[in-house]
Each structure stands twice: as C-alpha cells, then as structure tokens.
Amino acid sequence: MKMMRIRWFVLMSLLSMAAFHLISVGAARSNLFRTFPARAVADSAAPSETQKANLEAYATLLRENVPDQKEQLMAMVLSLNEADAGKFWPIYGRYEAELDKLNASSAASIDDYVQSYGHLTEQQADNVVHNQTQVQSQRAALLGKYYGEVEGALGPETAARFYEAESQLLLLTDLQLSSKLPVE
C-alpha cells in the first residue's frame, strides 16, 4: 500500500511539474525542445498550449532513456556560452557523481521489492518505503546544494533553469524506474 502511495506521489509530482512548465517540446529526438527559457514559451503560447506541449515532451522523453540524455538535454535548456559552460560542467559532473550513488541505492531497493513481490514481509515493505523516502530527501538536499554552487558560479537565473530542468528530468527518471514495479 505504501509503494502505491509513492507511485501516486511520483505521478502527481510529474503532472504538477508539467503545469508549472519550464521545458518546451519538440517531437524529434535530436530536437526535443523548441524553445529553452520558460518565459519564451509563456510569451508565445497560451497556458493550455504550453501544458499540452510539455506533456508531449514528457511522453516523448518517457520513451527514451532519460539518464543517457540528461547532459544533452541540460545543454539545450541552459544554452551556455563557452565561458559559462566551462564553469557549469565541472559542477554538474560532481553533482551527477553524487546523484549516481543515490540512484544506485534507490534502484537496488526497488529491485529488491520487485524480486520479493508477492511474498514481501511487512518489514521488507517498510524498509523499501523507508529507503525510498530517504533517497528522495537526500536527493532534494543534493539538488539544493548544487543549485547554490551553480548560482554562485553563473547567477540565479541560470541556477533556476538548472534546478527546474533537473527536477523535471529526475521526475521522469523516477517514473521510468517506477514502471518496473508490479501493479495489481
């Protein structure tokens, strides 16, 4: 029952992020985003069009392997010049290294749940949920930490774009990972 709540939480978070929009869409794999900053989308489209475009982008990304494309997507969203890219990518590399450790823990916990499904003890179920909530908390703290680093290096506007894009990509990654979970 608790895993069902986690899945609903992830799904509802994804949908609420779509409502707030940052990333716009495109259908082609090589051009997933037509416009980068949220304000460009807001200026050129009505809210319902923006929401529809974002949902289409999320659906496209869900069919892709989001972790494999994160750097490419982040580069498109941020549109950094050479000097700013030289500041950003080392920070992002450190962030990704720490994030990979958290994601490995989360994936192992979900794999244990999937393997034990149908004969899961109450203790195992509690452990899975506890591990997942711990990972979510640690990941939020990690993203906040690196938001501060990006802000210090590149300013609040770029840091906000990084934070929003990364938040949405993390939600998509979570949804892909959650798709392994058995549903009855």
Q: Which two tokens stand for residue 113?
A: 């749940």
Over the stretch 93-120, which tens digit does the pLDDT of each residue have?
999 999 999 988 888 888 888 888 888 8
Where exactly are the structural domains of the chain?
2-178
pLDDT of the residue at 124: 86
pLDDT of the residue at 61: 63
Model-level pTM?
0.66
State the greatest distance between any 2 C-alpha atoms of the chain, in Å, as a whole number. 55
pLDDT of the residue at 114: 82
Mean pLDDT of the chain, nearest integer: 76
pLDDT of the residue at 63: 63
What is the C-alpha separation between 64 and 146, in angstroms, rounded?
Answer: 26
Ranges of residues in the chain whose predicted pLDDT is under 50: 1-42
What is the C-alpha separation between 40 and 29, in angstroms, rounded?
Answer: 21
pLDDT of the residue at 69: 84
What is the C-alpha separation between 46 and 177, in angstroms, rounded?
Answer: 32
